Amino acid sequence: MTDKSATDFELRDLTDIADDLRSGRLTSGDLAEWAIANHDAHGEKLHAYKAWETERFLAEASVADAAFAANIDLGPLQGIPVSVKDLFGVRGYQTFAGSPKPLPPEWEAEGPVVQALRRQLAVVSGKTHTVQFAFGSIGTNPHWGTPHNPWCADEHRAPGGSSAGAGVSLWEGSALVALGTDTAGSVRMPASMTGTVGIKTTKGRWSTDGISPLSTTLDTPGTLTRSVADAALAFSVIDPEASQDPASFLATVERASMADFRLGICRDFFEDCDPGIAEGVHEALRELEAAGATLVDIAVPGIDEAIQIFRTGGLSAPEFSSFISDVLPGFLEDIDPMVGGRFEKMKAMTVGEYLGRLRRLEALTRMAHGAIAGVDAIVGPTVPITPPRIADVAEPSPYMQASLMIGRNTTTTNLLVMCANTLPVALDASGMPVGLHIMCAGGEDVRAMAISRAAEKVLGRARDRLGVPPLGI
C-alpha cells in the first residue's frame, strides 16, 4: 500500500480517491488489492458476482498505473474499480444475462457506456448478477442464485432487481461504481433496497447498444454509487452531454442548494407503504424544507393508469416476448419459471393492443409533464415495501404480488418518460433501507442530479445517515 493514510476507501468520495491516484499517494493496484480482499472476505456470503477474475482485475489495474507512471491522465475514473451488470457486453467476459448458458459472442461487444469507462481506464471488478433477461424487480435468479441483501445478516432478503448484484457489490467493497440498467426501476429498486444511490437517465440519453435488451422502448442504462457526489462524477464521464464540459456540469451540481428548488409531494406514492417507509421519507422531506426547499402537494394525472398498464405487462412484456422469440429462441427452454409463467400472456398481446398502449402512454406523458411544470421535481418513497425474505417469495403468487409492489412507484418514471434518482434516507421498521425518489421531467437529468446532491448535503451520505449494514464494510 503506497500510503497508509489513503486506505479508508469506504469513507471517502471518488474525487478524493482520484486525487490520491494522481498524487502518487495511492495506486490502482492498491485499490484492486483492497477490493479483492473485501471480496475474499464477503463474496461467498453476499454473492454479488456472476463473473469474478482476480488476475484480470489486477491486470487492468496495472494498465491504469502504467498510464499514471507515464503521466497519462485520461480522466477521474482512471484506475477506479467498477462492477458491471451481466447484461452489458464487456471485453474478455461472456454475457449470460442471467441465463444458464452464455449468449452468442456478439453480445460480448462493448457499447458506448462501457466504452466511456474504458477510455478513462476504469477497472472492471467483475460482472454482477441480474434477474434473467432483467425481467424482475425482486432480484432472484434460479440458475445462479440470488445476491444477499447486506442489511439483513440473519435472513436472506431480496437485494432488488433486476440489477441484483450492483448495490451489493458496493457494500461488499469490491467496486466503487456499479453499472445497471433500468426498465421499470431496475437501477433504483436495488439502490433503494440496499441503501445506495441510483440514477435513472432519460430514455435515449445514454445508448443501450452493447446491452442485452428487455424493452427497446423503456430500457435505460444507469449507475449505482455510494453517494450522490460519486454519482455526479460518474455521470460526468458517461453522459454524452456532461462529458463535453465535465467541470461545468460538476460545478452546477455542487453549487445547488435546497432553497433553489420547489418539490411536489405526490401522495399516490405514499399509499400502502410498509411501516417506517412513508415516515422515513416524510422526516427527510421535513429536513429538506428546514434547509430551504419549498414543498407543495401535487396531483399527477395518469399515475394510476400508468401503474395499471405496468401491472398488465406494460410495454416490456410484449417487447421482450418478441425479442427472445425472434433473436434467442433457444433460451426459452431454460427461462426462469417466474418469467416463463407469464410468457403465454406476453405472446397473446395483439399488435393493436400494443400500439394502443403506446398511444395512451404518450397522452399520459403529456398530461403528467404538464402537471409537474410548476415544480422542479416530484418526490416520494422509491420502493413502498421492505425487501422481502427470499423464502417468502418462492411461490408464483407471493412473488408476483411483491414484484408488482416493489416496482409500483419507479415504473411510472419509465412509462411517463421521466428521469429519476434515489438516495437513501432512513431505515424502515424492519431495519432495511428506505429511498427518497426524486423524479424530474424527461431531459432534466442535470436538475435531478443537482436536487439529489443538494439533498445529500443536508441529509448526509448513506454511511453517515444509515450506518453500516451487518454484512457490509
Q: 351-408, pLDDT tens digit by residue? A: 898 999 999 999 999 999 999 999 999 999 999 999 999 999 999 999 999 999 999 9
- Given the residues 125, 137, 162, 192, select the one marked as catalytic: 162
Can you tell me the mean pLDDT for 197-222?
97
pLDDT band at 417; cut points 50, 70, 90: very high
Q: Is 134 a domain residue? A: yes
* Domain housing 277: 4-466
Q: Is 82 a domain residue? A: yes
Can you tell me the mean pLDDT for 398-427?
97
pLDDT surpassing 70 at residue 146 = yes
Q: Is 162 a catalytic residue?
A: yes
Q: Count of domains in the chain?
A: 1
First to last CA, the chain: 19
Q: Is 42 a domain residue? A: yes
pLDDT band at 2; cut points 50, 70, 90: low
Please give the model's pTM, rounded to 2 decimal places: 0.97
pLDDT confidence of residue 332? 86
The candidate with the shortest Cα–Cα distance to 383, out of 222, 214, 187, is 187
Can you tell me the mean pLDDT for 433-462?
98
- Show Cβ contacts of residue 329 under 8 Å, excluding neighbours closer than 6 positions: none
Q: 121-139, pLDDT tens digit by residue? A: 999 999 999 999 999 999 9
pLDDT confidence of residue 349? 81
Q: Is 282 a domain residue? A: yes
Can you tell me the mean pLDDT for 240-255?
98
Mean pLDDT of the chain: 95
Instruction: Choose between 333 and 190: higher pLDDT.
Output: 190
276 vs 385: CA distance, rounded Å: 10
Amino acid identity, position 106: E
pLDDT band at 427; cut points 50, 70, 90: very high
* Lateral strand order in the sheet of 123-128: 49-51, 123-128, 81-85, 177-182, 220-225, 197-200, 418-427, 433-441, 377-381, 262-265, 294-297
Other beta carbons within 10 Å of 281: 25
Helix (H, G, I), strand (E, B) or coil at 85: strand
Can you tell me the mean pLDDT for 335-342?
76
pLDDT band at 13; cut points 50, 70, 90: very high
359 vs 353: CA distance, rounded Å: 10
Strands 418-427 and 377-381: unpaired
Q: Is 230 a domain residue? A: yes
465 vs 27: CA distance, rounded Å: 30
Instruction: Choose between 350 and 431: higher pLDDT.
Output: 431
Least confident of 193-197, 198-202, 337-341, 427-431: 337-341
Q: Is 472 a domain residue? A: no
Q: Is 186 a catalytic residue?
A: yes
Can you tell me the mean pLDDT for 37-54?
97
pLDDT confidence of residue 4? 39
pLDDT surpassing 90 at residue 189 = yes
pLDDT surpassing 90 at residue 333 = no
The candidate with the shortest Cα–Cα distance to 436, out of 304, 179, 263, is 263
pLDDT surpassing 80 at residue 3 = no
pLDDT confidence of residue 6? 45
Q: Is 242 a domain residue? A: yes
Cis-peptide into 162, omega within 30 deg: yes
What is the residue whose three cell numbers read 393492443?
353
pLDDT surpassing 80 at residue 67 = yes
Q: Is 471 a domain residue? A: no
The gap from C-alpha 231 to its chain's centroid, in whole angstroms, comes to 10
pLDDT confidence of residue 346? 66
- Tell me the CATH number at 348: 3.90.1300.10
Q: 277-314, pLDDT tens digit by residue? A: 999 999 999 999 999 999 999 999 989 999 888 888 88
- Given the residues 50, 85, 200, 203, select the one marked as catalytic: 85
Residues counted in the chain: 473
Q: Where are the beta strands (DSSP E) in 375-456?
A: 377-381, 418-427, 433-441
461 vs 387: CA distance, rounded Å: 21
| Long-range contact pairs involving 328-336 (C-beta distance under 8 Å, separation at least 24) | 328/103, 328/104, 331/99, 331/101, 331/103, 331/133, 334/99, 334/100, 334/101, 334/143, 335/132, 335/133, 336/98, 336/131, 336/132, 336/135, 336/136, 336/140, 336/141, 336/142, 336/143
- Given the residues 83, 99, 186, 316, select the one marked as catalytic: 186
Strands 418-427 and 433-441: antiparallel
